[in-house]
C-alpha cells in the first residue's frame, strides 16, 4: 500500500473549499463521502492506497484532508482498451491524458487550519523527507509515512475539539510507530508516573489489547477497568505514548 499525495493549486482552491465543507458536513453525521481527484499522467495508483491532499501555490499551504483510494464506478480499464492495465481506481473521465482516481475521504480540516508543511519539515522525524511535488498523484516516501500519519492524526483530532475538523474514525489510531526516530532503545525510554507505569503493565498482562500502540483501544480499556490516570496520561501525551510502546517506559 502506497501513500499518494494529491495537490490542489490556487486556481482550484475556491472550488475545493466547497468540497471540504461538504465532506466535513457528511463526516460529522457519519456519512461516507466519495469523489475523484486528478493524478496527472500517473498510472500506478491502486485501490487501497492511502491519500493525502495538499494545498500548493499561495498561502495557506499544507495538508487539508486524507482518505483512501477506492474503485471507480465507471472504470477506465473497462471502457478504454488502451488502459487495460490500470487499476479499477481510475475513472473513465480522461481529459488531455490527465487521469483521475476515485477517493473516499476520511478526515478533513477547515480551510484556515491546514497542517503546515514548514512545521513538519522542522521536526527531526522528517529529516530528508521530500514535500515538494511537481504534479498530483506522486508517492510519499514510505520511510516517513508513519510520522505523517501521526502528526496529521494529532492535528485533526485536536481541531475536532473546537469543531474545526471531522473524521470517520479517530485519526490518532492510524499511526503505529515501528521505531522511535531510529535512536537506540536505551536512549528513548519514556519516563512516566509510577501509577501510569504500573497501570500499563496491568493492561498488558490482561492480554485484552492485541496492539498496545493502538492508543484508542488502550484508553478505552483503561477507563473500563478504572485506570483513569493511565487514560488521561495517554490522551495528554500521544506522541510519547507511541514512542514508549516501541522503546519502553521507565520510572522517572
| CATH number of the domain encompassing residue 109 | 3.10.590
44 with 112, same domain: the answer is yes
> Which pLDDT score, from 0 to 100, does residue 65 have?
97
| Grid cell listed for 88 | 479499477
Q: What is the pLDDT of residues 95-118, one digit of tens each?
A: 788 999 999 999 999 999 999 999
147 and 193 co-located in one domain: no
Distance in angstroms (rounded) separating the CA atoms of residues 127 and 242 = 19
Number of domains in the chain: 2
The parent domain of residue 84 ranges over 3-167
179 belongs to a structural domain: no
- Whether 180 is in a domain gets the answer no
| Residues 207 and 97 reside in one and the same domain | no
111 occurs within a structural domain: yes
Last residue of a domain, one of 107, 139, 167: 167
- Considering the domain architecture, whether residues 210 and 158 belong to the same structural domain is answered as no
Tens digit of each residue's pLDDT (9 = 90 or more) over 200-244:
988 888 777 777 777 777 888 888 899 999 989 988 887 678 777
Q: Give the pTM.
A: 0.69
Give the number of C-alpha atoms closer than 13 A to the C-alpha of residue 103, restricted to the C-beta side: 25
Q: Are residues 230 and 119 in the same domain?
A: no
Q: Verify that 111 and 15 share a domain, yes or no.
A: yes
Task: Dump pLDDT digits (tens) for 50-70.
Answer: 999 999 998 889 999 999 999
Per-residue pLDDT averaged across 154-170, rounded? Answer: 84
104 plus 196 within the same structural domain: no
Q: Based on the domain organization, do 209 and 147 belong to the same domain?
A: no
Q: Are 41 and 98 in contact (CB under 8 A)?
A: yes
**Are both 142 and 29 inside the same structural domain?**
yes
In a domain, 176, yes or no: no
143 and 190, same structural domain?
Answer: no
Shared domain check, 155 and 90: yes
Q: What is the mean pLDDT of residues 179-189?
A: 41
pLDDT of residue 246: 66
**Could you give the C-alpha distances from 117 to 60, 131, 148, 203, in angstroms and in order?**
10, 7, 10, 37
Closest of 207, 206, 233 to residue 219, by C-alpha: 233
3-state class of 211 per DSSP? coil
Distance between CA atoms of 42 and 21, rounded to whole angstroms? 28
Phi, psi of 104 (to 5 degrees): -105, 120
Q: What is the mean pLDDT of the chain?
A: 86
Q: For residue range 18-36, list pLDDT tens digits in order.
A: 999 999 998 888 888 999 9
Do residues 192 and 243 make contact, with C-beta atoms less than 8 angstroms apart? no
* Whether residue 239 sits in one domain with residue 145: no
Let me know if residue 93 belongs to a domain.
yes
Amino acid at each position: 500500500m502506497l501513500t499518494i499525495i494529491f495537490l490542489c493549486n490556487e486556481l482550484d482552491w475556491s472550488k475545493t473549499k466547497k468540497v471540504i465543507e461538504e465532506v466535513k458536513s457528511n463526516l460529522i453525521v457519519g456519512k461516507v463521502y466519495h469523489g475523484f481527484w486528478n493524478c496527472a499522467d500517473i498510472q500506478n495508483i491502486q485501490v487501497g492506497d492511502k491519500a493525502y491532499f495538499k494545498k500548493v501555490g499561495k498561502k495557506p499551504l499544507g495538508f487539508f484532508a486524507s482518505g483512501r483510494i477506492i474503485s471507480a464506478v465507471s472504470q477506465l480499464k473497462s471502457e478504454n482498451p488502451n488502459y487495460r492495465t490500470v487499476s479499477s481506481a481510475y475513472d473513465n473521465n480522461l481529459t488531455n491524458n490527465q487521469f483521475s482516481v476515485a477517493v473516499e475521504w476520511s478526515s478533513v480540516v477547515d480551510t484556515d487550519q491546514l497542517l503546515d508543511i514548514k512545521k513538519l519539515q522542522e521536526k527531526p522525524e522528517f529529516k530528508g523527507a521530500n514535500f515538494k511535488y511537481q504534479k498530483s498523484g506522486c508517492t510519499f516516501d514510505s520511510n516517513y509515512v508513519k510520522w505523517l500519519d501521526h502528526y496529521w492524526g494529532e492535528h485533526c483530532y485536536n481541531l475536532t475539539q473546537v469543531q474545526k475538523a471531522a473524521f470517520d474514525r479517530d485519526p490518532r489510531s492510524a499511526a503505529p510507530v515501528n521505531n522511535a526516530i531510529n535512536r537506540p532503545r536505551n536512549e528513548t525510554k519514556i519516563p512516566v508516573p509510577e501509577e501510569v507505569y504500573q497501570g500499563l503493565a496491568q493492561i498488558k498482562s490482561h492480554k485484552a489489547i492485541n496492539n498496545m500502540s493502538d492508543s484508542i483501544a488502550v484508553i478505552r480499556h483503561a477507563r473500563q477497568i478504572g485506570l483513569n490516570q493511565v487514560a488521561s496520561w495517554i490522551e495528554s501525551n500521544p506522541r510519547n505514548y507511541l514512542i514508549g510502546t516501541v522503546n519502553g517506559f521507565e520510572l522517572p
